[in-house]
């Protein structure tokens, strides 16, 4: 039996608020209050939740950028944070904001990433360019500074950057937020094709229920730092006796996907 690509057990993360005065007790917010789930290799898992529900914190922990306060995380069999150096070779990440040197061109940004990963720049560049062409971008734009490109184009380059290193695990934090319908459809079609062709495991956070339904074999609802429910889209609808995934989400979490502020939760006792 093969190990799951992602194993998360009782994951907790708390952020300490800055105290303005010595001695004044500031409340502490639990971003993740005991989250557990698994994603099988080659699957796409959708994590849905309102703003501040802990989705990005979870992705940051899996990306080795944050260290959890408690719980157990294993990616492709490697435990975090102990084996983070190994895990960094295995993950690609696309965040909601395409983080690039905006003054540099597409080519320069991609070459920088290739060098950063110690890859052969030429072959890495060829692969990235192929991905960009598959995503519908024209070659003539590759030498222009990124600041001159639309958000959709930048996001496509961000996906090409993540795939340049051939990661078996892809962490996508709201990759289609703010994209026009055509760009969104291009990205979704590409991700479907990628999973089919390469067997890449994908963890996707999104506010878009239709996108989750289209791409994800399993969906989890995250609210106030807790995983409220998980299952297939059909299973969640049935569980909430709802006609749509939107209704199921509201029914099960009591919130709408795109609304809500960070609510300070308390850790579950397990």
Partner 1 sequence: MERGLRQTWAFMFRGYHLTRRYLSWVVVFNFYALTGSAAVALIGVAANDHQLTLTLIVGALLWNFLSVLYNEIAMSIAYERWEGTLEYTFMAPVSRLVHLVGVSLFALCNSVVNTTVVLGGLMLFTPLSLSGANLPGILVVILASTLAFVGLGVMAAALPVLSPERGAEGTHIFQGSLLLVSGVYYPVDVLPAWIQPLSALSPATYTLSACRKLVGIGNPATTAERLRPGRALGQAHGTLEANGLTPRGGGAAQRAGRSREPMTKAARGAATKPPKSQVPASAAASTDAPPPRPAALAMTPDSAAPSAIAKS
Binding site for partner 1 (CB under 8 A): 60, 63-65, 85, 88-89, 91, 93, 95, 97, 99-104, 108, 111-113, 115-119, 121, 145
Q: 30, 198 in Cβ contact below 8 A? A: no
| Separation CA 112–CA 107 (nearest Å) | 8
- Min dist. Cβ of residue 56 to partner 1 (A): 11
- Min dist. Cβ of residue 35 to partner 1 (A): 20
- Residue closer to partner 1 (CB basis): 63 or 253: 63
| Separation CA 102–CA 151 (nearest Å) | 11
Beta-sheet pairing, 169-173 with 6-15? unpaired
- Residue closer to partner 1 (CB basis): 136 or 145: 145
Please give the structure tokens belonging to residue 117.
């990963």
Q: Which residues contact 249 (CB under 8 A, 6 or more apart)?
A: 48, 209, 221, 236, 240, 255, 256, 257
Q: List C-alpha distances in Å: 243 to 148, 214, 233, 249, 259.
A: 43, 16, 11, 11, 20
- Residue closer to partner 1 (CB basis): 119 or 242: 119
- Min dist. Cβ of residue 161 to partner 1 (A): 8
- Min dist. Cβ of residue 85 to partner 1 (A): 6
- Residue closer to partner 1 (CB basis): 203 or 218: 203
Q: 5, 169 in Cβ contact below 8 A? A: yes
Q: Which residues of 98-127 are buried (b: 16+ CB within 10 A; e: fewer)?
A: bebeeeebbbbbbbebbeeeebeeeebbeb
- Min dist. Cβ of residue 153 to partner 1 (A): 17
- Residue closer to partner 1 (CB basis): 98 or 236: 98
- Residue closer to partner 1 (CB basis): 117 or 196: 117
- Min dist. Cβ of residue 13 to partner 1 (A): 16
């Amino acid at each position: 039996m093969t190990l799951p690509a992602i194993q998360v057990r009782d994951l907790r993360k708390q952020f300490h608020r800055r105290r303005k005065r010595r001695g004044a007790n500031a409340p502490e917010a639990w971003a993740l209050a005991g989250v557990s789930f698994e994603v099988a290799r080659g699957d796409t898992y959708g994590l849905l939740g309102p703003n501040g529900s802990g989705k990005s914190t979870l992705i940051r922990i899996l990306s080795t950028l944050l260290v959890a306060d408690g719980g157990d995380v294993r990616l492709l069999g490697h435990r975090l944070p102990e084996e983070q150096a190994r895990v960094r070779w295995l993950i690609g990440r696309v965040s909601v904001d395409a983080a690039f040197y905006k003054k540099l061109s597409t080519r320069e940004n991609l070459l920088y990433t290739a060098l950063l990963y110690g890859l052969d720049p030429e072959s890495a560049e060829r692969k990235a360019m192929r991905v960009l062409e598959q995503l519908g971008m024209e070659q003539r734009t590759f030498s222009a500074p990124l600041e001159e490109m639309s958000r959709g184009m930048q996001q496509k380059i961000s996906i090409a950057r993540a795939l340049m290193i051939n990661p078996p695990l892809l962490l996508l934090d709201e990759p289609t937020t703010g994209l026009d319908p055509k760009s969104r459809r291009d990205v979704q079609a590409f991700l479907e094709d990628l999973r089919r062709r390469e067997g890449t495991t994908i963890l996707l956070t999104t506010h878009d229920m239709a996108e989750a339904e289209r791409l994800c074999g399993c969906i989890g609802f995250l609210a106030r730092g807790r995983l409220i429910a998980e299952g297939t889209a059909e299973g969640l609808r049935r569980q909430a006796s709802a006609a749509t995934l939107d209704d199921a989400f509201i029914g099960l979490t009591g919130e709408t996907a795109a609304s809500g502020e960070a609510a300070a939760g308390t850790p579950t006792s397990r």
